[in-house]
Structure 1
């Protein structure tokens, strides 16, 4: 289709990347990016780029991806609990400073012929363009002003977190908890430059309040950082920080908002990135989603002669991928919200629980890619020596065959279902729903809780998540119905201590 003018609202990575792609595809169009901030001032620290994201960006625009990679910082992953630490090689995992990423994308947008206009607060009512791309972020003015047309739904998370940084490069990405007199704080930290690392720290509401951070959060102006929290956390994580300081950038505690919209477009306006959807930081990057949105939007506009058809194609292609990632991300968010409850597990077993927490990575696949780590974790789970753990292709059946609490394996006897003391509970809601929170807060008084429900995979994973919460809070034996085709999920659930026993259904 012929587009004479394109306006992009928002000069973040998604908006800049979309502007470059659209200008290259529509060279005669006037493409303008409107950003209310200024080029040398930005929020955030590092941005992670997984290998799959890099492949997608390379296929869409190899030149800009090469420039991004050139200024990125490679690293591995690790988890440290107390004095125990495990490392995990993670292929082509990269991170780049957000300011550096923006600088690269600004340069490539200009080279393509995009006009960048900074320091202007512009809404859809202020611009006259054939196409308006609203990439105006999680607090999207466009989505808010046109809420009746986009139909946004916003779900608030329970845990609190803050973004900060430090002035040295960690040896690798690290997940590490620290328990203080007020409760447990968990850091998600990773290096993104030779002298910088991101430090994201999260905690539960009760710990946050006991530490007085509800007061410091309220007292911190929007333009400043919560220095009370930064000073406290700098002392708490002093070992990981190796004597370095925590750096704020309008750093305040907040809760994560998962955003969904009934529609991503209306008239000649289309949402992109966080304006349309968000996914929890523990599983997916908003930057990744926004840039991949841009790729699909650009392709859809080339394929069609009218905006409505192009927008429909854009949504049809992107929604399944985004919905899938959001489901994984919500599951991961709940796992991290309850992370301190798992600290008694050996760190190798805990790393297995982390990698398989959302159903994205199977136990077998993880065993293939990190055999030494997984073998140690499985040995801890099976209470045996590492020599007794089989090869990766046999770990599922081996995990299900391990004895527990006087039983010879992890398979529930059929007569247990109807036995005295067994409560049969149907799980029909997501683990993070109000109904499931009530169930977990007021569980059935039973020695055995048997969870049943629908036979699709998401429902199976939901039962395993609810099962973990119940077994940790009640001490009851938890049994979960699992369709035969999801034996691998059952094994991962057992190894991760989400369930005691499983019952396979046909």
Structure 2
């Protein structure tokens, strides 16, 4: 189809990228990006680009990716608990300063012929373009104006987090907890330039209040930094910071908002990126989602005969991937909110638990990408030496490890059928939407008085993953032997649950769903 004019609301990465793609595809069209801020000012620190995202960007527009990679900063990943460090060598991880990314994308858009207009707030009422792309962020004015038509819901997470940075490059991306007199804080930090690193720090509400941050947050205006929190966290993370200070950029505590919309378009207006959906930062950045949305929108328009078909096609094709990512991101969000409970795990096993936390990565894929570290984590799980872990058939090996509890040794981690009907076993039906909701709290806080808790429920994969999360919570609350039942279809998830310490034993039901 032909476009004569395109207006993009929002000059972030998603808006700039979709403008370039559409201009390249429709060189005669008037493509304008309207950004209310100034071109040289932005908020935030570094932006991460994983290898899969890089491949997607390369396939869509090699030139702009090359320009990004040319100024990006490669790094590895590690996890540190106390003096224990687990390092994951992945030099295909890239990060770039948000200011630099915007500068690159602005130049790329202008090179394609896109007009950039800064410093004026525009809205859909004042635009007459053939297509209006709303890439105006998590607080999207466009989405709010069309909320009744789009079916908008916003879910606020329980944990609190803040973004800050420091003026030196960490040797690698790092996940590190810091336990203070008030509770535990966890930093997700990564270098994005030779002299800069992002520090994202999160904690639970109880710790946040005990530290007095409910008061400092109230005193900090949206355009200011919570200096009291920054100074406190400098001391808490003085080891990883190596004596450097934390710096802010509109840095204050907030809670993550998961945005969902029943529809992403109305008429000639279409939402893109955080305006349409958000996914917790521990799985994928808003930048990644927005730029991949831009690719899908551009392709749908190119392949469709008219705009209505194009926007419907864009949403139909893109929604399944976004919905899937939001689901695993929500699991990841809950995992991080409960991270302090896992600090007694050996760090190599903790890294394994991190990599498999949301069902996105199984043991086999993890072992393929990080064979040494995965083997160390599996050795810690089984209580054996590094050389005792095989190179292949890891799922079967995990299931076949013996378990000793209360002086009794079980030959494998697969529960015997007779255990389900034993007088000392309580079978617990667990079919919950979340392992951390009020209904899950009832199960965890009031478990049956039994030596063995056998968790059963729907064979659906999502239900199984939730059941494993409930099992982990029960293992923190009770001395009972925990068994999780699931279908053989999802044996990889059951094995990951064992290896990451979420359950003691597993059992197979007859069949599962895809």
Q: Using structure 1 for the length normalisation, give the TM-score.
A: 0.97
1:427 is matched with which residue: 415, 427, 430?
430
The whole-number CA distance in structure 1 between the counterparts of 2:126 and 2:447 is 54
Q: 1:494 aligns to what?
A: 498
The whole-number CA distance in structure 2 between the counterparts of 1:3 and 1:384 is 63
Question: CA contact under 8 A between 1:452 and 1:481: conserved in structure 2?
Answer: yes
Q: 2:349 aligns to what?
A: 349
- Higher mean alpha-carbon deviation, 101-110 vs 443-452, is at 443-452
2:417 is matched with which residue: 414, 419, 425?
414
Q: 1:290 aligns to what?
A: 290
Q: 2:206 aligns to what?
A: 206
The whole-number CA distance in structure 2 between the counterparts of 1:13 and 1:112 is 15
The whole-number CA distance in structure 2 between the counterparts of 1:446 and 1:67 is 61
The whole-number CA distance in structure 1 between the counterparts of 2:270 and 2:448 is 48
Q: 1:471 aligns to what?
A: 475
The whole-number CA distance in structure 2 between the counterparts of 1:118 and 1:343 is 47
Question: CA contact under 8 A between 2:74 and 2:91: conserved in structure 1?
Answer: no
Structure 1 residue 141: Cα displacement? 0.8
Question: CA contact under 8 A between 1:32 and 1:115: conserved in structure 2?
Answer: yes
Structure 1 residue 395: Cα displacement? 1.9
Deviation digits for residues 307-328 of structure 1, max 9, x if unmatched?
Answer: 1100111011101111111111
Q: 1:84 aligns to what?
A: 84
The whole-number CA distance in structure 2 between the counterparts of 1:51 and 1:376 is 24
- Higher mean alpha-carbon deviation, 334-343 vs 439-448, is at 439-448
Q: 2:66 aligns to what?
A: 66
Structure 1 residue 421: Cα displacement? 4.0
Is 1:453 the equivalent of 2:452? no
Q: Using structure 2 for the length normalisation, give the TM-score.
A: 0.96
Equivalent position SS for 1:153: strand
Q: 2:395 aligns to what?
A: 396
The whole-number CA distance in structure 2 between the counterparts of 1:286 and 1:229 is 25
Alignment of 1:88-127 (within 5 A): 88-127=88-127
1:503 is matched with which residue: 504, 507, 511?
507
Equivalent position SS for 1:416: helix
The whole-number CA distance in structure 2 between the counterparts of 1:92 and 1:219 is 41
The whole-number CA distance in structure 2 between the counterparts of 1:195 and 1:90 is 20
Q: How many residues align?
A: 505
Structure 1 residue 213: Cα displacement? 0.4
The whole-number CA distance in structure 2 between the counterparts of 1:229 and 1:286 is 25
Question: CA contact under 8 A between 2:4 and 2:30: conserved in structure 1?
Answer: yes
- Higher mean alpha-carbon deviation, 251-260 vs 68-77, is at 251-260
Is 1:195 the equivalent of 2:200? no
Question: CA contact under 8 A between 1:51 and 1:91: conserved in structure 2?
Answer: no
Equivalent position SS for 1:76: strand
Equivalent position SS for 1:396: helix
Structure 1 residue 41: Cα displacement? 1.0
Q: 2:370 aligns to what?
A: 370
Equivalent position SS for 1:280: coil
Deviation digits for residues 338-389 of structure 1, max 9, x if unmatched?
Answer: 1111111110111111111111111122223322222222222111222222
Q: 1:182 aligns to what?
A: 182
Question: CA contact under 8 A between 1:8 and 1:134: conserved in structure 2?
Answer: yes
Deviation digits for residues 200-248 of structure 1, max 9, x if unmatched?
Answer: 0010110000000000001101110100000000111011001111010
Structure 1 residue 451: Cα displacement? 1.4
The whole-number CA distance in structure 2 between the counterparts of 1:71 and 1:293 is 23
Q: 1:226 aligns to what?
A: 226
Structure 1 residue 437: Cα displacement? 3.5
Deviation digits for residues 410-457 of structure 1, max 9, x if unmatched?
Answer: 121222223334332222222244422443344344332221122122
Question: CA contact under 8 A between 2:362 and 2:492: conserved in structure 1?
Answer: yes
- Superposition CA RMSD, Å: 1.3
Alignment of 1:163-178 (within 5 A): 163-178=163-178
Question: CA contact under 8 A between 1:169 and 1:197: conserved in structure 2?
Answer: yes
Equivalent position SS for 1:399: helix
The whole-number CA distance in structure 1 between the counterparts of 2:166 and 2:121 is 31
The whole-number CA distance in structure 1 between the counterparts of 2:195 and 2:484 is 48
The whole-number CA distance in structure 2 between the counterparts of 1:263 and 1:79 is 39
Unaligned runs of 5+ in 2: none
Question: CA contact under 8 A between 1:448 and 1:478: conserved in structure 2?
Answer: yes
- Higher mean alpha-carbon deviation, 276-285 vs 473-482, is at 473-482
The whole-number CA distance in structure 2 between the counterparts of 1:130 and 1:7 is 8
Structure 1 residue 91: Cα displacement? 4.2
Unaligned runs of 5+ in 1: none
Counterparts in 2 of 1:457 and 1:442: CA distance versus 1, 3 Å: same
Counterparts in 2 of 1:298 and 1:395: CA distance versus 1, 3 Å: same
